[in-house]
Structure 1
Amino acid sequence: MPKKNIVFMGTPDFAVNALDSLNKEHNVVLVISQPDRVNKRGNKITYCPVKKYALENNLEIYQPDDINSYESIELLKNLDIDYIVVVAYGQIIKKEIRTLPKKKIVNIHASLLPKYRGAAPIHRAIMNRDEETGVTIMEVGPGLDKGQIFLKASTKIADKNLIVLHDELAKMGAGLIIKYIAENEYEEIIGTPQDESQATYAKKVSKNSGKLDFVDVNIELGKIKGLYPRPGASFSYNNKNVKALDGEIYSNKSDADIEIGYIIDVLEDGFLVNCANGILKIRRIQFPGKKEMSVEDYLKGNVLERNTDLR
């Protein structure tokens, strides 16, 4: 198969794997990412991961404030484009651009659509303790992640945290976009409309998303796994906001003699917290201004008091 001319639109780490695969297999004629940001610390300009990759690999980079501006559209009109591939770009793409490729404009989305449209599909899949998630190749249309579906691939979530699942899905998406282009060149893939009755939205996570209230042990573990490392799940210990970075369900039965949200016991490798429907074991923590560490290491020079309220 002859190499195809690709315009790539993406910004964060999740997009880099796909860009790398496309760069190796096809001709990436232009990389488009969000404008550079000014770091609040030191007032320095920071480059997004996609721009860093483009510069390191001598790819032409374009960073418009508005991808739908007259200047942007005219620039793209002058390119020979087979496919536009979008991965977590961060701007809505209007029809004037969507109709430019000879073939398709497609998006790599980190969920099994129509489930988890929107900004934080990986976070929400873990936080909701789903059994599986995956990646969808879909056509970019006028609505948010509503386009017809071309390909999907799934994986079990199991005990994976955000970092592990993020990296797995990024690699999966990179492989799937190469597969899509190859199959579509051989014979055009007919898309499948999404079932709107099954659609859900993955709301963007905030700093308050990870506050542990110890009501539901499954939800609390989902917060710990799904928000690591940022923004992180957290609890209060002696008026300090402490991050809970790893844990497990110790028991599906709560301790009737201990208040909800209180430390039941401190073990060598973690401490137990009573929830309304079970017991949560927290194994890794981070105090304000300190490095993250295992509870085992923390206990070598510190104590965690039993019967302490963490809410």
Structure 2
Amino acid sequence: MTIVFFGTSEFAVESLIAIYKSEHQVLCVVTQPDSRRDRGHKVHFTPIKEKALEFGMTIYQTDNINSAQSLEYLNSLKADIFVVVSYGALLSNEVLSISRYKPINVHPSLLPKYRGAAPIQRTLMNGDNITGVTIMEMIEKLDAGDIISQRVLEINSYWNYGALSTKLSIEGGKLLLEALKLIEAGVDKRVPQDDTLQTYAKKIKNEEKYLNLSHEASDIINTIRGLTPKITPLLVLNNQYLGIVEAEVASLNVSEDFKNSVIGEVLKIDKKSGILVKCAIGAIWIKKIKPEGKKTMDFKDFLNGKKIHVGNILKSKEEN
């Protein structure tokens, strides 16, 4: 089939690679405009643009995919199908009506659970142990189209956002090719979503990166897993932000072993286990740290260069 591929983020790359290696033809890759960031305002391409350039594909970028100009261009391609993977903008009914077959989307959750912008992050932050990928027909309503196929994935308790996103991206690419084969043969079976079972994965807000030790230890670990490495969760030590990149729940009985301690207190420093910090319920071992303005390091390296002692208090932004 001839395909127009819509994608922007790193998650979409494996799907583009899968199509590139298949018998299908990519007529054009549609991605978000380049961005300028860093001190020198250097131009940054989207991950999908970088991969499309590597493959020698035609690229289309626009601030408004639903504009008259975009509609005219997309119509001119006469594509069999539009494939949308983490594109970053809603498509109008006019756009969704252009291709020969109805557009399809690769979504990193088991719909109707976790519709929305941050399904992978919310899956981990909520402590789920099962997730998956869905291929669905696209309609104007967000992530609400009929389901074509799904694949379940068990979540390893040590996976963070980066690891789970990679796994789902690879599975999504595989499932996408299977779905395209079914669609082309006319044997795909589409199942409407049960809207009564829908949940919404809202976009991660900036303030969510500030860890709150007034929560249960397992919830704090889930937040760290859900944000890293894309976003670095933060605590405050001696009026400086400290990135917490990796940690695990401590198996100690904190309420018995450290009766007089307070939330955020450094209870113990162990050269093998890490830095033990008290939470409202339980405690966490901090394993990897990103000091303000520096690279991520093992807690042992941090201890060599910083003075942190038993009895120091780590705080959230709100407490500082």
| TM tier, smaller | over 0.9
The answer to whether residue 49 in structure 2 is matched with residue 17 in structure 1 is no
The answer to whether residue 190 in structure 2 is matched with residue 191 in structure 1 is yes
1:134-213 matches, cutoff 5 A: 134-158=132-156, 159-213=158-212
- TM-score where L is the length of structure 1: 0.95
Q: After superposition, what is the alpha-carbon deviation per residue over 1:61-98, rounded to whole angstroms, capped at 9, x for unaligned?
A: 11122111111111121223111000111111111121
The 10-residue stretch of structure 1 (68-77 or 301-310) with the greater mean CA deviation from structure 2: 301-310
Identity of matched residues, %? 37
* Residue in structure 1 matched with residue 269 of structure 2 by the alignment: 266
Instruction: Pick one of 289, 304, 310 that aligns with 1:285.
Output: 289
The answer to whether residue 258 in structure 2 is matched with residue 254 in structure 1 is no
Instruction: Pick one of 301, 306, 309 that aligns with 2:310.
Output: 306
Look up the equivalent residue of 1:23 and give its one-letter code.
Y
Structure 1 residue 41, shift from structure 2 partner: 2.2
d(CA) in 2 for partners of 1:98, 1:18:
19
d(CA) in 2 for partners of 1:18, 1:102:
20
Look up the equivalent residue of 2:52 and give its one-letter code.
A
* Residue in structure 2 matched with residue 244 of structure 1 by the alignment: 244
1:80-159 matches, cutoff 5 A: 80-158=78-156, 159=158
CA contact (8 A) 1:254 1:279 kept: yes
* Residue in structure 2 matched with residue 235 of structure 1 by the alignment: 235
CA contact (8 A) 2:162 2:230 kept: no
Structure 1 residue 252, shift from structure 2 partner: 6.9
Structure 1 residue 40, shift from structure 2 partner: 4.6
Aligned residues: 308
CA contact (8 A) 2:161 2:230 kept: no
The 10-residue stretch of structure 1 (283-292 or 268-277) with the greater mean CA deviation from structure 2: 268-277
Structure 1 residue 301, shift from structure 2 partner: 3.7
Unaligned ranges ≥5, structure 1: none
Look up the equivalent residue of 1:93 and give its one-letter code.
L
Unaligned ranges ≥5, structure 2: 316-320
- TM-score where L is the length of structure 2: 0.92
Look up the equivalent residue of 2:35 and give its one-letter code.
R
